[in-house]
């Protein structure tokens, strides 16, 4: 049993490694992406600074914290594949073309496969499009740095952010099994995720009511939770609670993915010969 | 017990159609209907039929990625839909139009991933890799990313990939589609050797009947979801309305030959074409013609397999 488990683990590690390597072959795209993230970071930082000049403690953040929030958002944008670019894009495409049949013929969990691939990709994007723009932000604006506990919590939280975002993207992509094309759901998802992740504006700035709802949604795990942990707004038991909520969403959503996948293979035609 | 046992297998699809603004009606389409056959270990079976006959649907049920709506299929003692992953270790699937390789990875890396996926013991892996790489002539391509391979090269890579884990059954879906004559020939030769030397059971769906003629001792013809023929290729020729042709070269031009049991279908100078039922013996016919006419030469043409099958599809 433990031998089998070990074999599984080494397979998923191999998948993640190859996924990492696959993205790392597109150096020009990575550099262009880092540039874009940095430019957006700069523009948003100035916008936030103007906003915080009017209201120096909006959402409970100081101006320096708010700017740090911006750069964390830019760093996580690609890491969690907020708009697109994750392994779930491949999934949607393979369902559309029917190539998913090839995946189903393998003695491996399809869900595990795509998750491992997405984690490998996420790690690459974190190391490049996460780290590089953050350095740019720190040099230009001087960012708030986390405590050691905050830094450790942040890394765990980012890993969970990738898993939660993956599971949500997986569910939307799997709609292609029924809709035959997942473009519509994907557009809807990017709008929801942009708004409710904290990328546009920290969720704490939302009006009462909407704020509580937004903080409870899985999208809060994307940017809001990791950023608040970095900024030290969650510490001690509060930190564990924040991470616990991410874990709960991850488990719940991955469970939903497994169920959807099962329903899909039972009921739905894999397209084409 | 046979390796593949299919009993009254059926699969229906419900197709919803919109009539009016909100009203919908659903039509049940029977893709496979009460299909039964058995395949023994070591057979090479051609599974043919026109587009939409239910070939792919059958293969999907045999491999477990589609659940039957009725009947049963047992493959290698397993129930495919319930035991899909267990079954996956014992079968190989090759699609002419899809690849199981990874586009951005060199062949070597794809094979390496498959080694882990199927948990292939090192010795088996190395042996299969050496064998197939040599036989399929992949040696120089191992470090080329799959996206840079030609169709024929990719196909060979796919076949090697499907065989790394020593599958007992290999399903091939249009394996020679788009390949040139030489590549087709090499591929067929490889598959024949695989069957002879390793006893791998092959089930082949194809539109290229030369694949069938070159490889399969047995043919199952499916149309409208049901098997309309199941037997050796030789008796397929005798089936249905197929006819053989006796070509007679007379010494001199003559009016149409009149003999019992055959009909002249064409006359061209001294040469005449006589059609007779594929099931009948040619001997008495030849004797009659030779007795009554001055014959310079004779030859018998078997019906083209395409024509035989076309008569089967008639219904």
Residue B88 shares a structural domain with residue B214: yes
**Record: contact B117-A269, CB cut-off 8 A:** no
Q: Are A203 and A196 in contact (CB under 8 A)?
A: yes
Identify any residues that bridge with B201 across adjacent strands, giving them in sequence order: B169
Q: What is the C-alpha separation between B287 and B267, in angstroms, rounded?
A: 20
Last residue of a domain, one of B237, B269, B295: B237
pLDDT at B305 exceeding the cut of 80: no
The pLDDT value given to residue B239: 67
pLDDT tens digit sequence for A236-265? 899 999 999 999 999 999 999 999 998 887
Q: Write the burial class of residue B124 (CB in 10 Å: 0-12 exposed, 13-18 middle, 19+ buried).
A: middle
Contacts of B175 in chain A (CB under 8 A): none
B105/A14 Cβ within 8 A: no
Q: Do A99 and B98 touch (CB under 8 A)?
A: yes
Q: What is the pLDDT of residue A144?
A: 95
Sign of CA dihedral B18, B19, B23, B27: negative
Query: CB-CB: which of A14, A105, A266 is closest to B93?
Result: A105
Say if A151 is an interface residue toward chain B (CB within 8 Å). no
Q: How confident is the model at residue A273 (pLDDT cuts 50, 70, 90)?
A: very low
Given this model, what pLDDT does residue B314 score? Answer: 62
Residue B118 is predicted with a pLDDT of 92
Q: Looking at the complex, does the CB of residue A10 fall below 8 Å from at least one CB of chain B?
A: yes
Tally of CB atoms within 10 A around B27: 9
Residues in B closer than 8 angstroms to A7, CB to CB, are 116, 119
Q: What are phi and psi of A123, to 5 degrees?
A: -65, -40
Same domain assignment for residues B77 and B108: yes
Query: CB-based burial of residue A94 (10 Å sphere; 0-12 exposed, 13-18 middle, 19+ buried)?
Result: buried
Are residues B35 and B91 located together in one domain of the fold? Answer: yes
pLDDT, tens only, B170-201 = 999 888 888 888 888 888 999 999 999 999 99
Say if the Cβ atoms of A269 and B98 lie within 8 Å: no
Interchain contact A265–B (C-beta under 8 A): yes
Share of chain B above pLDDT 70, in %: 98
Judgement on whether residues B222 and B259 belong to the same structural domain of the protein = no
Contacts of A18 in chain B (CB under 8 A): 102, 105, 109, 113
CB under 8 Å to B277, separation ≥6 — which residues? B243, B244, B261
Return the pLDDT at B240: 59
The Cα of B62 is separated from the nearest Cα of chain A by a number of Å equal to 11
* Strands of B68-124, DSSP E: 70-75, 91-95
- With tokens 């101006």, the residue in question is A63
Closest by Cα among B68, B92, B93, B100 to B82: B68
Q: Which of B214, B237, B260 is the last residue of a domain?
A: B237
Residue B33 structure tokens: 């209907």
Number of structural domains (chain B) is 2
d(CA B248, CA B312): 29
Interval B76-123: pLDDT, tens: 999 998 898 899 999 999 988 888 898 888 999 999 999 999 999 999
Report the first-to-last Cα separation within chain A, whole angstroms.
37
Candidates B117, B157, B172, B205: best to mutate against A (most CBs of A within 10 A) is B117
For residues B207 and B227, give the distance between their C-alpha atoms in angstroms, rounded to a whole number. Answer: 16
Q: Are residues B225 and B249 in the same domain?
A: no
CB B117 within 8 A of CB A107: yes
Q: B195 with B218, same domain?
A: yes
B203 and B60 within one domain: yes
Residue B84: which domain range?
Answer: 4-237
CATH code, domain carrying B131: 3.40.50.300
Model confidence over A159-205: pLDDT tens digits?
Answer: 999 999 999 999 999 998 888 788 889 999 999 999 999 999 999 99
**CA–CA separation, B251 vs A38, rounded Å?**
92
| Confidence class for position B315, pLDDT limits 50, 70, 90 | very low
Number of H helices, E strands in chain A: 13, 0
Compute CA A222 distance to the chain's CA centroid, rounded to the nearest angstrom: 5
Rounded to two decimals, the pTM is 0.84
CATH number of the CATH domain containing B266: 3.30.70
Domain stops at, among B190, B222, B237? B237
Looking at the structure, tell me whether residues B258 and B215 fall in a common domain.
Answer: no
| Most A CBs within 10 Å, among B15, B16, B113, to test the A interface | B113
B7 forms beta bridges with B72
Q: Which residue of A has its CA nearest to B87?
A: A107
Nearest to A18 among B55, B97, B105 (CB): B105
Q: Are residues B54 and B131 in the same domain?
A: yes
Residue of B nearest to A9 (CA): B116
The pLDDT tens digits for A38-95 are 999 999 999 999 999 999 989 999 999 999 999 999 999 999 999 888 999 999 999 8
Per-residue confidence (pLDDT) for residue A272, from 0 to 100: 46
Highest mean predicted confidence (pLDDT) among A99-113, B34-48, B257-271? B34-48
Distance from CA of A16 to the nearest CA of B (A): 11
> Which residue in the set A7, A14, A105 is minimally distant from B65, CB to CB?
A105
Q: Collect all residues from B whose CB is shorter than 8 A from any CB in A.
A: 13, 55-56, 60, 63, 65-67, 81, 84-86, 88-89, 91, 93, 95, 97-100, 102, 104-105, 109, 112-113, 116-119, 173-174
- The C-alpha of B100 sits at a distance from chain A's nearest C-alpha, in angstroms, of 6
Give yes or no for A7 touching B (CB within 8 A). yes
pLDDT of B241 reads 65
Q: Quick check: B211 and B174 in contact, CB under 8 A?
A: no
Burial class (CB in 10 A: 0-12, 13-18, 19+), B183: middle
**Closest residue in A to B88 (Cα–Cα):** A107
CA closest to B91 among chain A residues: A105
Do B201 and B257 belong together in one domain?
no
Which of B94, B99, B119 is the best mutation test for A, with the most CBs of A within 10 A?
A: B119
- Asked whether residue B279 falls in the same domain as residue B152, the answer is no
């Amino acid at each position: 049993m433990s031998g089998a488990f070990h074999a599984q683990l080494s397979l998923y590690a191999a998948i993640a490694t190859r996924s990492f390597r696959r993205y790392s072959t597109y150096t020009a795209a990575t550099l262009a992406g880092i540039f874009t993230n940095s430019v957006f970071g700069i523009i948003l930082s100035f916008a936030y600074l103007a906003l915080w000049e009017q209201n120096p403690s909006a959402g409970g953040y100081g101006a320096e914290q708010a700017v740090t929030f911006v750069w964390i958002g830019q760093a996580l944008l690609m890491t969690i594949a907020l708009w697109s670019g994750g392994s779930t894009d491949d999934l949607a495409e393979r369902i559309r073309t029917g190539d998913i049949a090839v995946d189903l013929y393998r003695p491996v969990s399809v869900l595990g496969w795509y998750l491992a691939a997405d984690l490998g990709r996420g790690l690459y994007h974190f190391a490049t499009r996460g780290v590089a723009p953050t350095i740019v932000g720190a040099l230009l604006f001087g960012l708030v740095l986390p405590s050691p506990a905050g830094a450790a919590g942040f890394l765990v939280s980012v890993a969970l952010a990738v898993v939660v975002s993956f599971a949500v993207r997986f569910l939307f992509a799997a709609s292609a099994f029924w809709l035959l094309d997942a473009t519509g759901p994907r557009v809807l998802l990017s709008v929801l995720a942009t708004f409710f992740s904290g990328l546009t504006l920290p969720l704490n700035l939302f009006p009462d009511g909407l704020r509580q709802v937004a903080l409870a949604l899985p999208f809060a795990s994307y940017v809001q939770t990791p950023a608040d942990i970095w900024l030290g707004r969650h510490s001690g038991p509060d930190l564990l609670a924040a991470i616990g909520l991410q874990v709960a969403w991850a488990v719940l959503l991955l469970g939903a993915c497994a169920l959807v996948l099962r329903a899909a293979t039972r009921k739905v035609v894999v397209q084409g010969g | 017990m046979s390796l593949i046992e299919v009993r009254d297998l059926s699969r229906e699809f419900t197709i919803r159609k919109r009539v009016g603004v909100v009203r919908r009606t659903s039509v049940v389409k029977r893709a496979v209907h009460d299909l039964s056959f058995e395949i023994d270990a070591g057979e090479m079976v051609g599974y043919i039929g026109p587009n939409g006959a239910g070939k792919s649907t059958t293969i999907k049920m045999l491999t477990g990625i589609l659940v039957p709506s009725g009947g049963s299929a047992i493959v290698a003692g397993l129930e495919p839909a319930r035991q899909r992953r267990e079954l996956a270790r014992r079968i190989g699937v090759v699609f002419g139009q899809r690849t199981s390789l990874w586009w951005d990875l060199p062949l070597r890396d794809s094979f390496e991933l498959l080694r882990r996926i199927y948990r292939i013991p090192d010795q088996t892996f190395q042996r299969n890799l050496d064998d197939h790489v040599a036989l399929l002539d992949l040696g120089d391509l191992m470090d080329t990313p799959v996206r840079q391979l030609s169709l024929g090269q990719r196909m060979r890579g796919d076949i090697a990939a499907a065989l790394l884990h020593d599958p007992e059954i290999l399903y091939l879906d249009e394996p020679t589609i788009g390949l040139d004559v030489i590549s087709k020939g090499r591929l067929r030769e490889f598959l024949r050797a695989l069957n002879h030397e390793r006893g791998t059971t092959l089930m082949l769906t194809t539109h290229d009947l030369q694949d069938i003629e070159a490889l399969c001792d047995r043919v199952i013809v499916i149309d409208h979801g049901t098997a309309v023929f199941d037997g050796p290729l030789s008796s397929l020729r005798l089936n249905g309305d197929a006819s053989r042709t006796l070509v007679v070269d007379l010494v001199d031009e003559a009016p149409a030959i009149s003999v019992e049991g055959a009909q002249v279908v064409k006359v061209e100078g001294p040469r005449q074409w006589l059609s007779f039922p594929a099931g009948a013996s040619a001997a008495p016919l030849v004797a009659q013609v030779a007795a009554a006419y001055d014959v310079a030469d004779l030859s018998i043409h078997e019906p083209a397999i395409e024509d035989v099958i076309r008569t089967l599809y008639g219904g």
